[in-house]
Amino acid sequence: MTATTRPTALVTGGSRGIGAATSRELAARGYRVAVNYFSNRDAAEQVVAAIEEGGGEAFAVQADVFDPGQAAELIRRSAPDGRLDVLVCNAGAGFTPTPVLDLPWDDFKAKLTNELGSAYTLTQQALAIMGARGQGRIVYVSSAVADGPPAPGMAAHGTAKAALNTFARFVAFEAGPLGVNVNVVAPGFVRTEASAHMPQELQRRLAERTPLGRVAEAEDVARAIAMLVGEQAGFVTGEVLTVDGGHGVARM
């Protein structure tokens, strides 16, 4: 497959964690990957270099996806030939776990607005390109926290992700006639740089309570995303796929 015939995928927050693993996974499956980053260009370039060393094709694209203008421009820069086959909305708005009693309304509102605002702009711009070609895949990275609180202080995060899940279903309904499949992956705890502060003892307890016997790695989520954008999931849309090794069904 030559560079001119590779389908194009944009991964937001693609320079680290789940985003980096997804960028590598999609590249290994033949996609030309636009690796979005906000501030850490070196990390993004490292992902691109790893992909190119493996025979794949990728390029780094800087943008703040929480700025509507930059998000719209990101879509255009990621599809310079007018082709965008896959959009993975992985970049999430940061937050500090805070109990509702102590959580300022402005902080709660900012989390919801940033999370949904980013997804909204990226989705609207991507659908215009994908719909014109009659095909495409969109995957949102949510969280199992959307189904209920695992610990105090997660109200803003969980509510934002629950809203994202609902938004995805509405988008799937409208995007289907355009030839675009829209789905969600909802990971539980994932071992990444962002979760490195999690005490090892807690990670051990999580693994013990998970039927598959371990916590997730970023690659586990990346493979689930790759499955949803692949032909095997061509008749799947509007679904939320939990990736937690069965932790949620264990009820422990």
239 has a pLDDT exceeding 80: yes
The whole-model pTM stands at 0.93
Q: What is the pLDDT of residues 144-177, one digit of tens each?
A: 999 988 888 999 999 999 999 999 999 999 999 9
Give the pLDDT score at 4: 55
Give the pLDDT score at 1: 38
Q: Which domains does the chain have, with CATH numbers?
A: 3-245 (3.40.50.720)
* Residue 152, SS3 per DSSP: coil
Cβ contacts of 67 within 8 Å, gap of 6 or more: none
CB contact at 8 A, 51 and 19: no
Lowest mean pLDDT among 184-188, 217-221, 244-248: 244-248
Give the pLDDT score at 252: 53
Q: Helices (H), strands (E): how many in the chain?
A: 8, 9
**Burial (0-12, 13-18, 19+ Cβ within 10 Å), 111:** buried
